[in-house]
C-alpha cells in the first residue's frame, strides 16, 4: 500500500515537472514568435500600383506603441500591428507624393477611435484627395456613424447590399454603481468642488444629475452639429435633411442610404476589388498589392530617413490617466513626463515643444508637477499644445500654461474641477462579513482613511478644505495661462465639460487643428524653416513592455470571454481603485458615446 502511494506521488511530481517545462517552452516559443513578428522591422519594399489600406478596426493611440501585446489576440493568425495616429498622419502625407501609391482604400466596417481622432484622420484624407490627384474609396460591410463621418472624406462610398447603416444621432451612456455598493455594504467618501464635477456621481447617486445631464447634452449637440455640418459639405445634403433622416429612422436598409444620397452604391467585396483593379489598370481578378499602415510605416523606418535640420521640435506625448511616478505608455506618469519636458528644455537643439494631450486627467499632484516643468520650458522656448480626443480636468491643467492651444471642434476638454474619493467598508466588514477591526492610534486622526470606518465631521472638513484649496490653485493656473481672471475661469469651470467648439468660444483654447497645425505653429513661434521632429518620452523597448503588460492584457482577454462580462465597467472601477489617497483633477467616469 505504501509502495503504491509513493509510486503515485512520484509519478504525479514527474508529471507536474514535465507539464511545467512544456508550459515554459510553449511560452518561450510564443515570446520568440512575437519577437520575430514585432521586435524587429522586416524590410518592406513598395511595389508599383500599390494601394494604401486604412483598417480602422484596431485602437488608434496618439503614438505607435512598442508594446507587443497592444493588439494581443489568442488567435495567432489574427494578430495585427497597431499604428498610432502620429504615423498614420505621416503615412497619408507621404502617400500624396509617393508614385507607388495609386490611392487609398478605407475599410470602415469597424471604427474604434475617438471622435477627435476621427476628425484628424478625416481632415488628412480630404487633404490627400484634394492635393494629390489620387482617389479614395470607402467601403463597409456595416456602417457606424463614426465610420460614415470618416467615409465622407472619400471620393466614393459603398456598402455591402445587405449591410445596415447606423444614423440616429449621438447618445452618451454612463453606468451608476450606487445601488451595487449599497448591496455589498460599501459607502463612498466623496469630497469635491464644482457643481458639474460629475466624476464621482456614479458612486453617489443612481441616476444622472440635472447639471451633468445639461453639460452632456451640450457637448453631444455640439459634436453632432459639427458632424452634420461637415457631412453636408461633402455630400451636398442639408443639415436639416440629415437630422430628419436620423429622427425618422429613415435609413432602414442599405438601399435607403443610396436613395437618400448618403452613399454612392451597393457592392460586394469582390466588386470593390474589381473596381480598384480597374482604377490601377489591372485585370479584374488580379491580386491587389494593399499596403497596410503598419507595413507602409515599416518601409520608411527601414529606409532610415533622417531630416537634415539640426534644429528640432520636440513632440511630447501625454496619453492616458495621469498618475504619480513613471506611469507607462498608456498612463501619464508625472515624473516621466516632467523628465521629458526638462530634457527638451535643456537641449539647445530643441527650439520648440509640442505637447500632445489625450487625457481625462487624474492625480492633482502629478498634474502640478507636469505644469511646473511646462512653465519653466515656456520661459525658454515656445510651447504649443495639441489636444486629442480628451484634454479634460488634469489634462487641461497641464495644457493651460502653453503659448498656444489647438483642439478639434469635437475634442472634449474643460472639466476644471477637483475631487477626493475614498471608500468606507464599515457595513461590509463588520455586519456582512463579521470582522471586527481594532485600531490603536498615537493621535486622534492617525487612522484617517481607515476603510473599516466612516470619516468623522472633522476629517470631512479637513478633506473638503484640501479640495477647495486645490480648486483655487487650479483656477489660478488657468487664469495665469489664459490671461483671464479667476472669477472668469470659475464661471466656465465648476467641473463643466466642453467641446473644442465651446472651448474656443469661452477662451479655453486658441484655434482648431491637430498635430500638424500645432507643429507648424511651434515652428512659426520659434522662427524655424528647416527642422526635424523628435518624439518624447522615449518609448519603452520590447522586453520592458512584454514583461509589464502580458499579465494585464491576458487577464482582460480572458475576462472578455465570460458571457455578459462588461470589460468597460471593470476598467472604470479599476481606474478608481488604483487612485491613491489625495486630490484628483479628472473628468467623469468614461462616457461611452454612440
The 8-class DSSP code of residue 444 comes to T
Rounded Cα gap, residues 81 and 527, in angstroms:
37
Compute CA distances 464 → 253, 396, 470, 477, whole Å. 55, 22, 10, 20
Q: Is 268 exposed, middle or buried (0-12, 13-18, 19+ CB in 10 A)?
A: middle
Quote the CA–CA distance of 139 and 165 in Å, as a whole number.
12
- The answer to whether 339 is a known catalytic residue is no
Give SS3 for 154. coil
DSSP 425: -
Q: What are phi and psi of 410, to 5 degrees?
A: -105, 15
Distance of CA 292 to the CA centre of its chain: 21
- Other C-beta atoms closer than 10 Å to the C-beta of 269 total 12
Residues in the chain, total: 594
> Is residue 393 among the annotated active site residues?
yes
Q: Which run of H or E residues covers position 157?
A: strand 156-159
Cβ–Cβ under 8 Å, residues 314 and 323: no
User: Terminal CA-to-CA distance of the chain, rounded, Å?
Assistant: 67
As a whole number of Å, the CA-based R_g of the chain is 27
Catalytic, out of 197, 295, 351, 381 = 197
Helices (H), 379-485: 394-397, 426, 457-482
How far from the centroid of its chain's Cα atoms is residue 156's Cα?
29
Of the listed 132, 274, 393, 415, which one is catalytic?
Answer: 393
* Residues 311 and 351: beta-carbon distance below 8 Å: yes
Question: How many helices, marked H, and strands, marked E, lie in the chain?
Answer: 21, 23
How far apart, in Å, are the Cα atoms of 107 and each of 225, 270, 287? Answer: 25, 14, 17
Please list the active-site residues: 197, 393
Amino acid at each position: 500500500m505504501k509502495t503504491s502511494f509513493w509510486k503515485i506521488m512520484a509519478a504525479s511530481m514527474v508529471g507536474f515537472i514535465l507539464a511545467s517545462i512544456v508550459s515554459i517552452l510553449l511560452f518561450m516559443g510564443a515570446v520568440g514568435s512575437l519577437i520575430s513578428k514585432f521586435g524587429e522591422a522586416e524590410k518592406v519594399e513598395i511595389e508599383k500600383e500599390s494601394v494604401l489600406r486604412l483598417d480602422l478596426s484596431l485602437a488608434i493611440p496618439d503614438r505607435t506603441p512598442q508594446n507587443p501585446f497592444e493588439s494581443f489576440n489568442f488567435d495567432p493568425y489574427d494578430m495585427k500591428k497597431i499604428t498610432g495616429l502620429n504615423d498614420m498622419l505621416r503615412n497619408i502625407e507621404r502617400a500624396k507624393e509617393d508614385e507607388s501609391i495609386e490611392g487609398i482604400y478605407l475599410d470602415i466596417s469597424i471604427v474604434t477611435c475617438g471622435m477627435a481622432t476621427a476628425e484628424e484622420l478625416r481632415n488628412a484624407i480630404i487633404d490627400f484627395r484634394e492635393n494629390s490627384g489620387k482617389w479614395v474609396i470607402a467601403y463597409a460591410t456595416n456602417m457606424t456613424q463614426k465610420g460614415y463621418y470618416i467615409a465622407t472624406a472619400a471620393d466614393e462610398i459603398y456598402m455591402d447590399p445587405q449591410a445596415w447603416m447606423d444614423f440616429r444621432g449621438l447618445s452618451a451612456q454612463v453606468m451608476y454603481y450606487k445601488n451595487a455598493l449599497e448591496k455589498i455594504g460599501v459607502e463612498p467618501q466623496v469630497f469635491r468642488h464644482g457643481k458639474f464635477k460629475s466624476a464621482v456621481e456614479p458612486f453617489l447617486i443612481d441616476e444622472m444629475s440635472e447639471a451633468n445631464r445639461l453639460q452632456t447634452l451640450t457637448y453631444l449637440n455640439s459634436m453632432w452639429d459639427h458632424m452634420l455640418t461637415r457631412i453636408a459639405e461633402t455630400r451636398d445634403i442639408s443639415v436639416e435633411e440629415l437630422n430628419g433622416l436620423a429622427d425618422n429612422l429613415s435609413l432602414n436598409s442599405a438601399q435607403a442610404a443610396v436613395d437618400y444620397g448618403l452613399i454612392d452604391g451597393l457592392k460586394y467585396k469582390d466588386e470593390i476589388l474589381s473596381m480598384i483593379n480597374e482604377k490601377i489598370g489591372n485585370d479584374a481578378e488580379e491580386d491587389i498589392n494593399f499596403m497596410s499602415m503598419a507595413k507602409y510605416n515599416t518601409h520608411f523606418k527601414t529606409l532610415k530617413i533622417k531630416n537634415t535640420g539640426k534644429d528640432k521640435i520636440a513632440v511630447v506625448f501625454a496619453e492616458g490617466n495621469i498618475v504619480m511616478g513613471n506611469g507607462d505608455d498608456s498612463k501619464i506618469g508625472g515624473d516621466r513626463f516632467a523628465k521629458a519636458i526638462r530634457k527638451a528644455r535643456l537641449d539647445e537643439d530643441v527650439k520648440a515643444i509640442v505637447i500632445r494631450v489625450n487625457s481625462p486627467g487624474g492625480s492633482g499632484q502629478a498634474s502640478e508637477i507636469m505644469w511646473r516643468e511646462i512653465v519653466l520650458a515656456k520661459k525658454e522656448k515656445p510651447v504649443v499644445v495639441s489636444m486629442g480626443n480628451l484634454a479634460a480636468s488634469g489634462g487641461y491643467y497641464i495644457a493651460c500654461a502653453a503659448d498656444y492651444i489647438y483642439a478639434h471642434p469635437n475634442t472634449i476638454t474643460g472639466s476644471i474641477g477637483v475631487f477626493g474619493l475614498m471608500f468606507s467598508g464599515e457595513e461590509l466588514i463588520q455586519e456582512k462579513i463579521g470582522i471586527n477591526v481594532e485600531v490603536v492610534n498615537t493621535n486622534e486622526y492617525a487612522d484617517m482613511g481607515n476603510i473599516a470606518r466612516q470619516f468623522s465631521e472633522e476629517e470631512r472638513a479637513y478633506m473638503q478644505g484640501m479640495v477647495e484649496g486645490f480648486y483655487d490653485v487650479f483656477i489660478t493656473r488657468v487664469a495665469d495661462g489664459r490671461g483671464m481672471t479667476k472669477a472668469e475661469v470659475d464661471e466656465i469651470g465648476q467641473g463643466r465639460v466642453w467641446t473644442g467648439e465651446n472651448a474656443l468660444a469661452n477662451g479655453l483654447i486658441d484655434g482648431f487643428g491637430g498635430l500638424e497645425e500645432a507643429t507648424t505653429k511651434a515652428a512659426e513661434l520659434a522662427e524655424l524653416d528647416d527642422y526635424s521632429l523628435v518624439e518624447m518620452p522615449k518609448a519603452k523597448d520590447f522586453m520592458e513592455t512584454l514583461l509589464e503588460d502580458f499579465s494585464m492584457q491576458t487577464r482582460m482577454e480572458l475576462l472578455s470571454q465570460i458571457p455578459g462580462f462588461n470589460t468597460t465597467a471593470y476598467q472604470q472601477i479599476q481606474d478608481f481603485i488604483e487612485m491613491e489617497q489625495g486630490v484628483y483633477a479628472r473628468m467623469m467616469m468614461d462616457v461611452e458615446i454612440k
